[in-house]
A and B are shown apart, each in its own frame.
Chain A
């Protein structure tokens, strides 16, 4: 049982390049989300999904796209990288709906630097 797997672990991009951060979970969780973590800011929600085919914006969605074609995968796309997107990105998953005991599980993170 691998939990939440993120790839790559590290990435350096040039300004204007595009890339996709991969996230996969094997726990059959309906809910998946992406956060970015910046010094002094805590983790902030970028996009989330409550199930295959359903996505929505979080607190800081600009410059990012997501899609959810399967329950297991939730990739995050940077359309045109900017230095302001230098951050550590975390993917998380949990059961959703009206279940209150939904524990969130996180991947190990992707450290992205945009130069």
Chain B
């Protein structure tokens, strides 16, 4: 069974810092990996989708990388802002089209 782990579970940084969130998965046979943002009491907002054949994707201040062979992905956030405070979830899609989620990293950006 696919296991997805996110480290750290929580992270606090001062505004303006660059930061990296980590995601690892146990089975490298994935179709894609997706990073989501979740605000308290809200749904999931898709941030970046990396296909299994890709190495990275970028959107604005966000950059996600994928190393499928080692079962790792990172989400890099540049010049963090208080509005980036949220929980970040990574999920991998398997052959059955199902998503396996990590438990998330709760990010707090301090003004």
Contact = CB atoms under 8 A, between A and B. Distances in A.
Interface string A96-112: 11001111111111010
A89 B60 CA distance: 30
Interface residues of B, number: 25
Contacts of A102: 31-32, 93, 97
A98 to B, nearest CB: 9
B52 A50 contact: no
B43 A104 contact: no
A58 B2 CA distance: 13
Contact of B44 (A50, A101, A106): A106
A31 B97 contact: yes
Interface of A: 31, 33, 35, 40-45, 48, 50, 58, 90, 92, 94, 96-97, 100-109, 111
**5 smallest beta-carbon distances between A and B, as pairs:** A108-B43, A106-B44, A42-B103, A43-B101, A42-B101
29 contacts: A33-B99, A40-B103, A42-B104, A43-B91, A43-B99, A45-B98, A48-B98, A50-B97, A58-B98, A90-B44, A92-B44, A94-B97, A96-B97, A97-B97, A100-B32, A100-B53, A101-B49, A101-B51, A103-B49, A104-B34, A104-B46, A104-B91, A104-B99, A105-B46, A106-B44, A106-B45, A106-B46, A107-B43, A111-B41
